Structure 1
Amino acid sequence: MGDPSSQPVFVLVRPQMGENIGAAARAMWNFGLDAMSITAPRDGWPNPKAVAMASGAGRLLDNARLHDDVAGAVAGCSYVFATTARGRDLTKPVFSPEAAMARAAGMIAAGEKVAVLFGPERTGLENDDVARANAIVSVPVNPDFASLNLAQCVLLMAYEWRRQAVEVTHETVPLGKGDWASRIEVDKLAEHYEDRLGQAGFFFPPEKAEGMKLNLRNLWSRMRLTRADVQMLHGVMRQMVRWKERG
């Protein structure tokens, strides 16, 4: 299990369905979180339905801390976030999930203990629960359908935590066994096509030829080609020429 002091504690407040507790455990462990607390679960604890749903994340449930109320769950925390989709008549900072987890990461790095509260499925957090929090996390959901499933909300917050805790590669293109084509290889491919297309009379009428060649060169430069791509495209043109010559 991970070090509880290096991550926020996710507190499930009065969860109702064991299946949702198990799904929340899976969501947490998907993103490397394993510090779970549970307050007053409706169907008691332990819950076999939670274990069944948790699958490979069952160890989170084995190590989950059980509390009678929110006060006990957050007693050792210096900062508490409350997740809610509803407006509140309470004066508190309101964070997006991303900003909340960025703040949490900074606090935890400084040695503080942070908790995130998640409300029960039917009603969400009550005002008494939110009153114990330092700040609110508001998810920008559809206002006509604002209720998030418990595990979905946990997944969203766990994902945002993961983005803050580890370096995320936002885009990558696996090359397999190939390499990217060099500029000179792409230039040679462009020349091959330009020569053959010129012989075929493609650049017509003459006054538009330079513009057409420029557009074609621009097309090649926009494409990210591998060496295998370049070889294949050379082969395509060679085969077309052979086919024409045979005809």
Structure 2
Amino acid sequence: MTTLDGAVVLLTGANGGLGREFVRQALARGARTVYATARRPREWADPRVVALPLDVTDADSIAAAVAAAGDVTVLVNNAGATGPASLLDADLTADLAGVRELFETNVFGPLAVAAAFAPVLAANGRDGRGAALVDIHSALSWLARGGAYSASKAALWSITNSLRLELADRGTQVVGVHLGYTDTPMIADLDVHKEDPADVVRAVYDGLETGAHEVLADDTSRSVKDLLSQPLTVMYPELARA
């Protein structure tokens, strides 16, 4: 398990609605410093929050972040993007540029950040507070109704499972997080039930501090995971009608 009391947290995608809540609750739980990163970081009023530029798809940007934040004990891979609703979308170019771009942000970016900070986490986790990597997935990691987005989150889920095993002997806790629709600007136009970001982040940090490997942050993610053991026609009734 990893405590946030006295921790140094680095959060990707800090400008979004979920990102801001991750910052707020980390400070409320006693984090000493929060590196709030984004491609164009915003200003923060709290001196404990350090605005840091980070583009997860750019190797030089990641290297600069590691150099600037060598005291990190908790890394939260929260940055992400939406993408084509269909893998066969007519707007995709012949080389699948839209899908490739989405995977750069949602898959290869988080992996590159995790790999770059893995030695930092291993070194800083020896002080008794522990160290952790938190990857934000989605209920759509398990439910293929989001087209390219679902595919990218499924890939990140698999990567997180592998990283959990690879980092175990380095003393780094790895937490995979699944959640349904959450009330953030990214999905403001969707007319669906949305979870409160405060509830989602609270569940994530509770899991982190109690030693969880995985957090199902809401009823949506729990119900979708329950369906994974069922025949595909239960999860996708249209297959039975085809």
- TM-score exceeds 0.5: no
TM-score range, shorter chain: 0.3 to 0.5
TM-score, L = length of structure 1? 0.32
Q: TM-score, normalised by structure 2?
A: 0.33
The structure having more radius of gyration, on CA atoms, is: 1
